[in-house]
């Protein structure tokens, strides 16, 4: 007898409930262990996910730039809008600014292309520049504040701001394409 209660065998329903509870606890433990080990793995390459997504961002952005015919790089949907070429150059120049900020340096001297081939190269080079920087970022650099076009931000927020900036303007560029009867490249990640 335990504390005045006779020991009894749990009913079938209680046994089922105990087994289910044990399964849930085991599953939760496995998930927690998986998450904790993935955190350890992530710290070995703190910027790995950012580098991976930059590659996808780069490919789609360059595909959008290449989709517009050279003779339409001067197109603007409204008198107050940038031309398509200016929009692509704006993305490139700002990429350099965000990524130079992550290095706590000034961006390199930038070109001012006026034709499609030069603009696509400028855009592609900006992503290459950022790729080299982002892939090597340390955890400390991701935490520390850096200068950026959006002000002084922690490294992770600089990257987020850059990715949002590119996506915003690339979305505008896709509308420019549609305004010219061109189907934008398919979204891919």
- Rounded distance, CA 11 to CA 15, Å? 6
Q: What is the pLDDT of residue 25?
A: 55
Ranges under pLDDT 70 in the chain: 1-43
Q: What is the pTM of this model?
A: 0.77
Please choose, from the candidates 117, 119, 114, 71, the residue with its C-alpha nearest in 3D space to the C-alpha of residue 93: 119
For 127-160, the pLDDT digits (tens) are 999 999 999 999 999 999 999 999 999 999 999 9
Q: What is the pLDDT of residue 97?
A: 98
Q: What is the pLDDT of residue 187?
A: 85
Beta strands in 3-156 (DSSP E): 145-146, 153-154
Structural domains for the chain: 46-179 (1.20.120.450)
Please choose, from the candidates 38, 35, 62, the residue with its C-alpha nearest in 3D space to the C-alpha of residue 48: 38
Q: What is the pLDDT of residue 23?
A: 56
Q: What is the pLDDT of residue 38?
A: 47
């Amino acid at each position: 007898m335990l504390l005045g209660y006779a020991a009894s065998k749990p009913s079938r329903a209680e046994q089922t409930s105990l087994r289910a509870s044990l399964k849930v606890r085991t599953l939760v433990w496995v998930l927690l262990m998986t998450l904790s080990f993935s955190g350890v793995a992530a710290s070995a390459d703190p910027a790995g996910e950012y580098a991976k997504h930059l590659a996808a961002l780069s490919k789609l952005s360059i595909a959008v730039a290449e989709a517009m015919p050279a003779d339409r790089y001067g197109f603007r949907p409204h008198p107050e809008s940038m031309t398509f070429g200016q929009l692509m150059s704006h993305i490139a120049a700002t990429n350099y600014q965000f990524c130079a900020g992550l290095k706590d340096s000034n961006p390199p001297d930038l070109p001012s292309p006026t034709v499609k081939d030069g603009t696509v190269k400028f855009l592609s080079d900006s992503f290459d520049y950022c790729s080299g920087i982002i892939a090597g970022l340390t955890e400390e650099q991701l935490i520390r504040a850096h200068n950026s076009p959006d002000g002084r931000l922690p490294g992770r927020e600089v990257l987020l701001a850059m990715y949002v900036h590119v996506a915003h303007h690339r979305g505008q560029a896709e509308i420019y394409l549609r305004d010219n009867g061109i189907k934008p490249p398919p979204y891919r990640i």
